[in-house]
C-alpha cells in the first residue's frame, strides 16, 4: 500500500469479510440463545448485517473496486471465541451472558473499524461512502446499546445463580464463618 486510498480499500475489504463471517455466525448465536429477547436481537441484527454487506458492496461499486477474498482475521478470532462458548455448552443462563459478551466484542470491533473507515472516507472526499459508513456505524452503536440493555436487564443477573440444563437450581455454596 502506498497511500490512504489503498489503505481505505483494504479496510473496506476487511469489513466486508467481517460482515460476511458474521452473517454465518449470527444464526448459530440465535439458536443457542435461551432468552427470547436475545434470540430476537440476534435475528434482527442478522437482517441489519445483511444490509451492511449491501452497503459495502455499493461503496465498492462507487469506488470501482471489488471486495476480493481478503479474510478478516480479527472477526475470525472473535467468532472462534464465541464458538468455544457454544462448544462448552454452559447452563442456559450462563450461555446467554456469554453470548452477550461475545456479541459485544464483535460490536466493539465493528464500531472501531467503521469509525476508522468513515474517517478515511471523509478525508478522501468520498461523501457517499462516508454517509453509508456513518449510517452503519450508528447501527453498530445501537446494537451495542441493545446488548448492554439486555445484559443489564436481567441476563447477567440470571447467570449469578443459573439453573442447570435439567431445570433444577445449582446448590449455593454455604458461607460459614
Q: For the chain (length 177 residues), average pLDDT per consecutive 10?
A: 96 97 96 95 97 98 94 96 93 95 97 98 98 97 96 93 48 38
CA-to-CA distance for 170 and 146, rounded, in angstroms? 29
On whether residue 112 sits in a domain, the answer given is yes
Domains in the chain, number: 1
11 with 117: CB under 8 angstroms?
yes
Range of the domain at 91: 4-158
Q: Round to whole Å and give the CA distance between 29 and 82.
A: 8
What would the DSSP string read from start to end of the chain? --SHHHHHHHHHHHHHHHHHHHHHHHHHHHHH--SHHHHHHHHHHHHHHHHHHHHHHHHHHHHT---TT---HHHHHHHHHHHHHHHH---HHHHHHHHHHHHHHHHHHHHHHHHHHHHHHHHHT-HHHHHHHHHHHHHHHHHHHHHHHHIIIIIHHHTTSPBPTTSPBPPPPP---
What's the pLDDT at 58?
97
Question: Within a domain: residue 174?
Answer: no
Neighbour count for residue 59 (Cβ, 10 Å) = 26
Res 16: pLDDT: 98
168, part of any domain: no
Residue 121 is predicted with a pLDDT of 98
Residue 177 lies in a domain: no
Q: Is residue 60 in some structural domain?
A: yes
pLDDT of residue 162: 66
Cα(22)–Cα(136) distance, integer angstroms: 14
For residue 177, what pLDDT is reported?
Answer: 38
Instruction: Evaluate whether residue 167 is within a structural domain.
Output: no
Q: Is residue 26 part of a domain?
A: yes
Nine-digit cell at 108?
A: 466493539
Look at residue 91 and tell me if it is in a domain.
yes
The CATH number of residue 93's host domain is 1.20.1260.10
Amino acid at each position: 500500500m502506498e497511500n490512504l486510498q489503498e489503505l481505505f480499500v483494504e479496510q473496506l475489504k476487511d469489513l466486508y469479510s467481517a460482515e460476511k463471517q458474521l452473517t454465518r455466525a449470527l444464526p448459530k448465536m440465535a439458536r443457542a440463545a435461551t432468552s427470547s429477547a436475545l434470540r430476537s436481537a440476534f435475528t434482527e441484527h442478522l437482517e441489519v448485517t445483511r444490509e451492511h454487506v449491501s452497503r459495502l458492496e455499493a461503496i465498492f461499486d462507487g469506488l470501482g473496486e471489488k471486495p476480493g477474498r481478503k479474510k478478516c482475521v480479527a472477526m475470525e478470532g472473535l467468532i472462534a471465541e464465541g464458538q468455544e462458548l457454544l462448544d462448552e455448552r454452559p447452563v442456559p443462563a450462563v450461555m446467554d451472558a456469554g453470548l452477550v459478551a461475545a456479541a459485544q466484542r464483535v460490536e466493539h470491533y465493528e464500531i472501531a473499524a467503521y469509525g476508522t473507515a468513515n474517517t478515511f472516507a471523509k478525508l478522501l472526499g468520498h461523501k457517499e461512502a462516508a454517509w453509508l459508513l456513518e449510517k452503519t456505524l450508528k447501527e453498530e452503536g445501537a446494537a451495542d446499546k441493545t446488548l448492554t440493555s439486555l445484559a443489564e436487564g436481567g441476563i447477567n443477573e440470571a447467570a449469578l445463580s443459573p439453573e442447570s440444563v435439567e431445570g433444577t437450581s445449582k446448590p449455593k455454596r454455604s458461607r460459614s464463618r
